Structure 1
């Protein structure tokens, strides 16, 4: 058992994935991001127990992250993680499920809805990219090598709006995960992978008909808030909430509001959408 729930090892495609499986009811799959030191436990410790009160919550570590295998030579990226998430759903007997995806996990969530629309119920996409970015934060992430001081810089300069949220304990935990054998190679392989063009992605996403909650931090340095606004414009059944005074880590920096929005969304209560002045945010 962990703070999130029961952890199990699932064999998927010849590799072992570390998977949290908690609660009972309609299934929600939680997908973490792909930054150095990312994991299901580090992303969903607070949200998963709340959702598990009324749902079955599945939170895997992607291949290459956390407690999952980290084989060398894998084609890490959205396609691999999408296929593995669908295969994991088959293994766990999930005929239909909702998805909450953070950052790159949000991109995988959208790909799941594109590849298997009949299997995905609702979507929550958080800090999810539409267009490529060459921001200083992106350069820091790409240049990262397993090192405590570099991890502290990445956390402060890329993810946190309030630097006080970056504690020594957090730096050590993320550094340790990023330094596991094969973890850094997985990140670098992903950064080097190709991707669909923004125009192609926008065309595909605009065809999705799923009820979707788009969440973004106003001061996100990794994925500018314009991406969240654009996603909400493209998706016909999407609602948007932008968190003030928060960056890429809005789930921690604005935790009560974040938890309320997501739990309300899955309880059937309409999300409280914040009005957004796109002219000021772009």
Structure 2
């Protein structure tokens, strides 16, 4: 379906990947950039990147999917290897669209998915941009309060608007003044979709997968990743600790890091202008991703 998003034309459609239907929104022309959203309750692709799509679509073909388990895509994630399951779906999406190589931008859960894509099929990934990615030191420290709230959202008394507001305003951002009631309402409605409630995409510790599958620092394959990588992390991140940035830079041979003061888990939202400029410049250095009109 063709429509508009801000000043951008958008093509929205479902793409079949095996037994799944993946909803994607496509903007702009040029080298392909795949943007993967975070895993908080009610998350979706376009909402996660509402302050970035227009800027990047001026130079790139921007693909923004709802990952499995979220938005308008098929629900359910393989809990025995969630990052791997998501990565295979997103690699399958590139295959279905006949995209040989793409830059991949990932926030939180989307960052973990992006990293796993680079591990599994490095030739498919041009450059990586990771914002507070999941799966870094997660089994080496007590989980943060924000991560506990994320994983516990569907437990206890179940999903409520108050729990969602506390998570978004208290854990995702440093300064919550721009987080409107409309944003909270939209995410809460998405979080109580009966299919999501029946099979939450992110769950707590019961039935946890093998540690190396949820903590990249325990996966020896990470050392072999040569993909040029830019890690952007808010120092005040309450979901994934900013110390993970240094860990990735130490393990990955082509990894640059930028830390943002007075910024939480949503770097791309809280520091949108700087994010857009930095990412555009970083991706422009790589011509291995061809343009598709």
Q: Mark yes or no: TM-score above 0.5.
A: yes
Of the candidates 109, 124, 144, which is equivalent to residue 135 of structure 1? Answer: 144
CA positional deviation for 1:54: 1.9
- Pair 1:89 & 2:102 matched: no
Residue 168 of structure 1 aligns with which residue?
A: 181
Deviations 1:36-75 (A, max 9, x none): 0110011112222222222211111011101112259876
CA positional deviation for 1:21: 1.6
Residue 117 of structure 1 aligns with which residue?
A: 122
Rounded to whole Å, the distance in 2 between the matches of 1:246 and 1:20 is: 27
Residue 278 of structure 1 aligns with which residue?
A: none
Superposition pairs of residues 244-259 of structure 1, within 5 angstroms: 244-259=261-276
CA positional deviation for 1:212: 0.7
Of the candidates 212, 228, 238, which is equivalent to residue 211 of structure 1? Answer: 228
Of 119-128 and 187-196, the range deviating more from structure 2: 187-196
Distance of aligned partners of 1:220 and 1:257 in 2 relative to their CA distance in 1, 3 Å threshold: same
Query: Cα RMSD (Å) of the superposition?
Result: 2.1
- Aligned pair count reads 269
Distance of aligned partners of 1:49 and 1:206 in 2 relative to their CA distance in 1, 3 Å threshold: same
Q: Secondary structure at the match of 1:26?
A: strand
8 Å CA contact 1:99–1:109 kept in 2: the answer is yes
Deviations 1:224-261 (A, max 9, x none): 10011211221111111001110102222111111111
CA positional deviation for 1:31: 0.6
Q: TM-score under structure 1 normalisation? A: 0.88
Q: Which runs of 5+ in 2 are unaligned?
A: 287-293
Residue 52 of structure 2 aligns with which residue?
A: 47
8 Å CA contact 1:72–1:182 kept in 2: the answer is no
Distance of aligned partners of 1:2 and 1:149 in 2 relative to their CA distance in 1, 3 Å threshold: farther
Q: Secondary structure at the match of 2:92?
A: helix
Q: Secondary structure at the match of 1:186?
A: coil
Q: TM-score under structure 2 normalisation? A: 0.85
Superposition pairs of residues 1-282 of structure 1, within 5 angstroms: 1-3=3-5, 5-71=10-76, 77-129=82-134, 130-132=136-138, 133-144=142-153, 145-184=158-197, 185-189=199-203, 192=206, 193-197=208-212, 198=215, 201=218, 203-268=220-285
Q: Secondary structure at the match of 1:171?
A: helix
CA positional deviation for 1:147: 1.2
